[in-house]
Chains A and B, each alone.
Chain A
Amino acid sequence: MSKKYLLSFFLFLFIISCGDDDNEEKYGVMGDLSYIPYSPQAFSITKPDGFPSMFIPTDNSMTLDGIELGKHLFFDPILSADSTMSCSSCHSPSLSFTDGGATSTGIDGISGLRSSMSLLNIGYVEKGLFWDGRSINLEDQALDPVEDPIELHDTWENVEIKLKDHPSYPKKFRMAFGIEDRSEITKELAVKAIAQFERTLIGASSKYDKVIFQGLAAFTDSEDRGMRMFTDAQGGLPDAECAHCHALHLGTTDGFFNNGLDSVGSLKDFIDLGLGGVTQDTFDNGKFRAPTLRNIALTAPYMHDGRFETLEEVVDFYNESPNHNNAANIDVNIRPLGLTSEQKQDLVNFLHTLTDTTFTTNPAFQSPF
């Protein structure tokens, strides 16, 4: 009898010695997810007219369950230290995934230097995300805000624990990525799912699309003049120089520019270095990403620091370009435009044709909570 107990004791010791880290000790058999079916269904992006193909990383193929998980994570305040904010706090669907503020405020009430960027068609960005281009792709980008002290101010270690202990997320991770055990939930999988959801945020049903690609609408005379100035087409109208940085049809060239916002004594004097802070090249100081102009009417205020309240103010700024000679790296296409009041209004009217409200109300992009 005592031999039996002794044998059982050693067997018990042997079993617990097999757990080689905290995760396995904690979750052990309890963390097993292999009983949940894993049958991923591939999701492919439908390419809108005039759009390029979207680059999808080979190690993050899109699936319906991956997108669903990403959507939950995007809207869930579980990613913040005090569970008060989520990605959607600064990227609200109704504002074309911006927050309507000049700059964004995190969980500690600290305001950052920059405005929240629209996520509309964000999957097409290839030259670096954020205003300063510091992230190479959406997966990399989604890592930042969780630990940023002026944003969600948590740690990924803590977020991973919350996700592993959550009543429903382990199942969602299993269905999205086929993990066998909840201990396998990692930040890398979380950001992959968020990136999958973000790649679905496509909007291409504006009046512009209806006119140019579908023949379902027509520009007004004013909008037509605005587009001609925007693209410097023929027609005896001045060149508004817009398309150098905001090429149609995506409304951006995906590049970084100093558009002469700030008057500086030298290239080292920018309060916010922008791209230069990332590349450490002085000639990149004061350069910021040219954002998409699609849904621009829904994403006020404008510029990286939200200094302009209206599109009219923006057009006024470019028309005058007061700092066009100020810094050595100002783009050569920044110059006073000499537009009349009517021409400025034409440009603004054209910009409104890029509004797509089917994007902001799309049920697939709304909070699941």
Chain B
Amino acid sequence: MKKIFWFTLFTSFLLFQNSCRPDPTLEETSDVELIFKGKYADEVLMINNDYDYDGNPIRFDQFNFYISNVVLVKDIVGNPEETELFEINFVDLSFKPVDVEDATKGVVITAPNIPVGEYSGIKINIGVAPDLNITSWEDYGSGHPLRKAGHYWSAWNSFIFSKTEAKIDIDSDGTFSHKLAYHTGSDEAYRTKFFAKNIILENGTTSKISFNVDAKRIFEDINVMTQTGTHNINDMVLVNEIMDNLQQKSLEIDQ
């Protein structure tokens, strides 16, 4: 009888003790929303809308790019720690907004269940990471960001990292006859950008990080009159210029 008593007491104690421990599967997390807003200088970017380019109207048909291995960075002295938000996503600023207000909302990409804490910045790679760029669009199932036949270039053996397509009415006759089609790709065009920003994720909340993407700055230092397109591997000088502009000038964090 005594044995049964002590056994019951011991079992109850164990159960009680276990119930007081935090469940290791219930890690404190936050959702992170990355918001990409298309701009043309100070204006909100809208597809098929007219903007000014050196005194001539310009109109965009497409403006989009891939981002890979996006991570939050935690500053630990001598050993920065990275927390992945996602492996790959597609930022398509060519979506059709209903109006300016709708366009202002931008493209929202949500990374769910990110561990809470204080982070010192975010790292974004522009393009398709080399380990993914050896694959092809056919390798992915429906709905995957890389399943886009129109964003794979078989002659390059590469995804098309970004597309900027626009038309300029160069003689102001109402005809947008000057066409620009900048398509970038190949591992050489892959770019990394780090944004320093204090980011605090709190349990059960959604944290928002906003970026502006200025389509006008894609053209900086490029002669759009003579350099109207990048479609093949021989255009790598221009491809690199476009990607440098996207990385260094066009994509900015909204502080």
Q: Which residues of A contact B (CB under 8 A)?
A: 50-53, 55, 126, 228, 231-234, 239, 241, 243-245, 247-250, 252-255, 281, 283, 325, 328-329, 331-333, 335
**Cβ-defined contact, B231 with A239, below 8 A:** yes
Smallest distance from the beta carbon of A280 to chain B beta carbons, Å?
11
Q: How far is the CA of A9 from the CA of B203 in the complex (A)?
A: 72
Select which of A52, A231, A233, A252 is within 8 A of B138 by beta carbon: A52
Contact (A247, B155) CB under 8 Å given A239-B232, A332-B180, A332-B181: no
**Cβ-defined contact, A333 with B181, below 8 A:** yes
B48, B140, B149, B177 pick with most chain A CB within 10 angstroms? B149
In terms of DSSP, what is the predominant structure of the interface of chain A? Answer: loop
- When A and B form their complex, which 5 residue pairs have the shortest distance between CB atoms, in order from nearest? A253-B150, A233-B155, A55-B142, A52-B138, A332-B179
Tally of contacts, chain A with chain B, CB under 8 A: 72
**Cβ-defined contact, A231 with B150, below 8 A:** no
Smallest distance from the beta carbon of B119 to chain A beta carbons, Å?
36
**Cβ-defined contact, A332 with B61, below 8 A:** yes
Q: How far is the CA of A228 from the CA of B154 in the complex (A)?
A: 11
**Cβ-defined contact, A243 with B153, below 8 A:** yes
Chain A residue at smallest Cβ distance from B48: A283
Q: Verify if B36 is at the interface (C-beta below 8 Å from A).
A: no
**Cβ-defined contact, A50 with B138, below 8 A:** yes
Which residues of the other chain, B, contact A254 by a CB distance below 8 angstroms?
149-150
> Which residues 131-172 in B have Cβ within 8 Å of A in the complex?
136-142, 147, 149-150, 152-155, 165-167
Q: How far is the CA of A239 from the CA of B231 in the complex (A)?
A: 8
Which residues of the other chain, A, contact B137 by a CB distance below 8 angstroms?
52
| 1/0 contact string of B34-61 vs chain A (CB within 8 Å) | 0000000000000110000000000101
Q: How far is the CA of A76 from the CA of B222 in the complex (A)?
A: 60
> Which residues 45-86 in B have Cβ within 8 Å of A in the complex?
47-48, 59, 61
> Which residues 70-113 in B have Cβ within 8 Å of A in the complex?
96
Contact (A234, B149) CB under 8 Å given A239-B231, A328-B59, A332-B167: no
Q: Verify if B233 is at the interface (C-beta below 8 Å from A).
A: yes
Chain B residue at smallest Cβ distance from A212: B154
Q: How far is the CA of A332 from the CA of B48 in the complex (A)?
A: 13
Q: How far is the CA of A250 from the CA of B150 in the complex (A)?
A: 11
18 contacts between A and B (CB under 8 A): A52-B139, A52-B140, A232-B155, A232-B231, A234-B233, A241-B231, A245-B150, A247-B150, A249-B138, A254-B150, A255-B150, A325-B175, A328-B48, A328-B167, A331-B61, A332-B165, A332-B167, A332-B181
New A-B contacts (20) at CB < 8 Å, excluding given A243-B153, A244-B150, A332-B61: A52-B141, A53-B141, A55-B141, A55-B142, A232-B231, A232-B232, A233-B155, A234-B233, A241-B231, A243-B154, A247-B152, A248-B154, A253-B150, A254-B150, A255-B150, A283-B47, A329-B48, A331-B61, A332-B165, A333-B181
**Cβ-defined contact, A250 with B149, below 8 A:** yes
Which residues of the other chain, A, contact B155 by a CB distance below 8 angstroms?
228, 231-234, 243
| Interface size, chain B (Cβ < 8 Å) | 32
Q: How far is the CA of A326 from the CA of B97 in the complex (A)?
A: 25
**Cβ-defined contact, A126 with B142, below 8 A:** yes
Which residues of the other chain, B, contact A253 by a CB distance below 8 angstroms?
149-150
Which residues of the other chain, B, contact A51 by a CB distance below 8 angstroms?
138
Which residues of the other chain, B, contact A335 by a CB distance below 8 angstroms?
179
Smallest distance from the beta carbon of A228 to chain B beta carbons, Å?
8
Which residues of the other chain, B, contact A325 by a CB distance below 8 angstroms?
175-177
Q: Verify if B11 is at the interface (C-beta below 8 Å from A).
A: no
Which residues of the other chain, B, contact A331 by a CB distance below 8 angstroms?
61
Chain B residue at smallest Cβ distance from A55: B142
A232, A233, A234 pick with most chain B CB within 10 angstroms? A232
Contact (A234, B234) CB under 8 Å given A247-B149, A247-B154: yes
Chain B residue at smallest Cβ distance from A331: B61
Q: How far is the CA of A325 from the CA of B177 in the complex (A)?
A: 5
Contact (A233, B232) CB under 8 Å given A52-B137, A52-B140, A325-B177: yes
Which residues of the other chain, A, contact B233 by a CB distance below 8 angstroms?
234
Select which of A228, A241, A243, A281 is within 8 A of B96 by beta carbon: A281
Smallest distance from the beta carbon of A251 to chain B beta carbons, Å?
10
Smallest distance from the beta carbon of B180 to chain A beta carbons, Å?
7
> Which residues 7-23 in B have Cβ within 8 Å of A in the complex?
none
| 1/0 contact string of B174-215 vs chain A (CB within 8 Å) | 011101110000000000000000000000000000000000
Chain B residue at smallest Cβ distance from A236: B234
Smallest distance from the beta carbon of A339 to chain B beta carbons, Å?
16
Which residues of the other chain, B, contact A281 by a CB distance below 8 angstroms?
96
Q: How far is the CA of A254 from the CA of B147 in the complex (A)?
A: 11
Chain A residue at smallest Cβ distance from B139: A52
B139, B154, B232 pick with most chain A CB within 10 angstroms? B154
Smallest distance from the beta carbon of A164 to chain B beta carbons, Å?
35
Which residues of the other chain, B, contact A228 by a CB distance below 8 angstroms?
155
Smallest distance from the beta carbon of A277 to chain B beta carbons, Å?
16
**Cβ-defined contact, B166 with A332, below 8 A:** yes
Which residues of the other chain, A, contact B140 by a CB distance below 8 angstroms?
52
Smallest distance from the beta carbon of B217 to chain A beta carbons, Å?
20
| 1/0 contact string of B224-255 vs chain A (CB within 8 Å) | 00000001111000000000000000000000
**Cβ-defined contact, B48 with A234, below 8 A:** no
Chain B residue at smallest Cβ distance from A239: B231
Which residues of the other chain, A, contact B61 by a CB distance below 8 angstroms?
329, 331-332
Which residues of the other chain, B, contact A233 by a CB distance below 8 angstroms?
155, 232
